Each structure stands twice: as C-alpha cells, then as structure tokens.
Amino acid sequence: MKVSKFRDMTNIELDQELVNLKQEIFNLNVRSSTGQLEDPKRIGRLRKDIARINTVLRERQIEEEKSEKDSKKKD
C-alpha cells in the first residue's frame, strides 16, 4: 500500500492495520515453513507496509510533541 493511503487513516485505524499485517505475516511464515506458500515476496511487502505505518505513526508523534513544546513556549 502507498504511504499516502496510510496518512489518510486515523491512528486507531493504523493500529488495527498493524495488528492485521503482523497476523498475516505470522500466517505466511507458518505456511512457508510447511512449504505451502504461493507468493514468498508477499512477506517482504507486508514488512515494508508495517515499516510505513510505523513511520507515519512516529511522524505524528513528533508533530504532537512539537506542537506541545510550542504551546508551552507561548505560555
């Protein structure tokens, strides 16, 4: 998925998507160990999506911290 789609989602939706992706990777790893995996590249794509979600969440956290810091300076 593209980063722009993740940026359009709320934090709650991102957290839920993160849980779903981690569960899917677990399931694919189980299939891989039993030799039933059809698309091995899917695991790598899911890992990259997880990294993208974590990046978006961290960007938002930094923005919040920055805005809190700015509001404290004004007081």
CA-to-CA distance for 55 and 61, rounded, in angstroms?
10
Q: What is the pLDDT of residues 4-56, one digit of tens each?
A: 999 999 999 999 999 999 999 999 999 999 999 999 999 999 999 999 999 99
| C-alpha distances in Å from residue 58, one per residue of 13, 52, 72 | 15, 10, 21
Q: What is the pLDDT of residue 71?
A: 83
CA 32 to chain centre: 22
pLDDT band at residue 75 under the 50/70/90 scheme: low
Residue 74 has pLDDT above 80, yes or no: no
CA-to-CA distance for 67 and 25, rounded, in angstroms?
35
